[in-house]
Amino acid sequence: METIETNPRGPKHLRHGFPKDFIFGTATSAFQELAHCPGGEAKPSSRFAKSEVLLSIESGTLNFVAPSPKFSNRSATRLQGWEKATNHYYKYKHDKRLNREDFRDFADLCFEKFGDRVKHWITLNEPWTFSFYGYGLGTLAPGRGGSSNYKLSALKEFMPSSRYIDPQAFMQKRTVTTTFGDLGKKLSGKERGGNDDNSGDPGTEPYTVTHNQLLAHAEAVKLYRDKYQKTQDGKIGITLVSRWFIPRTHSTSDRNAAERAIDFTLGWFMDPLTVGRYPHIMRSIVKERLPEFKEEEAHMLKGSFDFVGLNYYTTNYAAHAPNADTRNPHIVTDRMVRYSTELNGVPIGDEANIFDNIVAIIYPFYMLIFSTMLQGGSSWLYVYPKGFTDILLYIKTKYKNPCIYVTENGLDEKTDATLPLWESLSDHKRVCYHHHHLCFLKKAIREYDINVKGYFTWSFLDNFEWASGVSVRFGNIYVDYDDKCKRYRKLSAEWFKLHLLNEDSNSESSCPEETDSDSSDSEPEEAKQES
């Protein structure tokens, strides 16, 4: 671990404002960390595991969300006394059916080997991403989703900038070289022998895949509760990803579009997990293409979580978009939503990210940074922390205030090889991003009594992002890919250590809601959506 002097000054955010049992931590992914380092996954996992433990202690980050390939049984023993949430990645067949019995057996092995130390289990991470991008758009493994023209049309008409695909390259079939090969060839089908790849049914397969993922999750949870939970005293849940959606206009059609957007993303999973069936709007639109749960399956699904993990990054506007091609159903057009990141030329968050005047006076430098940081390093990531409160309040209201862990939240910055190292470590924007999201999270807990128990940043280290490779960086720790993957703490890591571990109740905080008690008297209007 190399050290470069950084100055952790910045907006103050105090630990004392959160519940005493609230967990702060960071999330990581073995493959994404090692994919671009010399030797890739062949790198000795035990050495990386030990170094990350030391890095976390030095950075003041005392909790991990980590996948199993990184940690052996011995590594788990080293982490005794830590809280370690584990998402056990399972490589299953890409034939539309996730074999529930195989998944249950895999989970059984994990519970048996690690359950005496791991106290928080996550069965699946972002199952929506796998179903939608793997079987709807075909831009992630296994790359199904119909012909390339079909994919292009769907994305061009209805998709905003996406974390998992570069829309410009996608639409133009431009050559984009990634770790997975030439994206342009993949999209055109030429990589498979010159013929357009017509495999897949994007109007059916995403729904089938999600159905099987949910049932596999329920099988694993049932096994854990029946066989292990009483003696191991752990908890088990699932991690879901969703943006918040704001109606583009006050029209009824756009309000309905925002409701459909959240139902086709978050509700697609939360409704079965809480009531044993898919959202009504999905059933009315997708009809026979949407599988139904048998009575015993619905019973097994309902309540099959002790907590829900939420990955939140940004918010989109949602507008009604009529489905012009009902003969060729597609998961994208089923939603009848057009997404956007700006309104009348103004990016989302232009008003939401401005500090309160008092805070602006106290921290003018950071006010300047934050008011100009509407976007991260990726085109999809616009900064809208108010959406954080809105989506949490929505979950509380609709799903009876379940226990929530924010398992991912973060901002990326573009990799710039021309910058000196010290400047690359000065991630002021990331500090401000986390500061504001933590302010809104504190508000959600204190004012709306939302049952959030922990907050994990994405990510611990700079890593390989599925669509962007290493061209963007999310980490609190900088990775020098040109120098044997040496790692350096960024300003954000020092900031977390200095401010989040500060429990001095007499110190000042720079959260707007703590400096102006009249600023938040009512619920966020967007959070009042009903499905």
DSSP codes joined into one string, 337-371: EEEESEETTEETTTTTTPPPHHHHHH-HHHHHHHH
Inform me whether the pLDDT recorded for 214 exceeds 60. Answer: yes
Residue 6 lies in a domain: no
Q: What is the pLDDT of residue 326?
A: 76
Highest mean pLDDT among 130-139, 175-184, 510-519: 130-139
Give residue 207's domain range.
15-528
Domain for residue 370, yes or no? yes
CATH of the domain at 331: 3.20.20.80
Tell me whether strands 177-178 and 120-125 are parallel, antiparallel or unpaired. unpaired
Identify the pLDDT of residue 165.
Answer: 52
The residue written with tokens 């506007």 in the block is 317
CB 375 within 8 A of CB 315: no
In this structure, the number of other CB atoms found within 10 A of the CB of residue 420 comes to 9
Beta-carbon neighbour count of residue 5 at 10 Å?
Answer: 7
| 285 within some domain | yes
Task: Give me the mean pLDDT over the 137-153 stretch.
Answer: 74
Q: Judge whether 174 lies within some domain.
A: yes
Query: Quick check: 294 pLDDT over 70?
Result: yes
State the CB neighbour count (10 A cutoff) for residue 39.
10
How confident is the model over 97-111, as pLDDT tens digits?
558 889 999 999 999
pLDDT for 284: 97
Residue 8 lies in a domain: no
- Residue 5 domain-assigned? no
- Per-residue pLDDT for 237 more than 80? yes
Average pLDDT, the chain: 78
Q: Which residues of 330-344 are buried (b: 16+ CB within 10 A; e: fewer)?
A: bbbbbbbbbbebeee
Tokens encoding 330: 């597609």
As a whole-number percent, the residues of the chain with pLDDT over 70 amount to 66
Total number of domains constituting the chain? 1
Residue 473 has pLDDT above 60, yes or no: yes
Q: Classify residue 30: in a domain, yes or no.
A: yes
For residues 168-187, give the mean pLDDT: 38
Q: What is the pLDDT averaged over residues 523-531?
A: 42
Does residue 4 belong to any structural domain of this protein?
A: no
Provide the pLDDT for residue 283: 98
Active site residues: 126, 408
The answer on pLDDT for 292 being more than 90 is yes
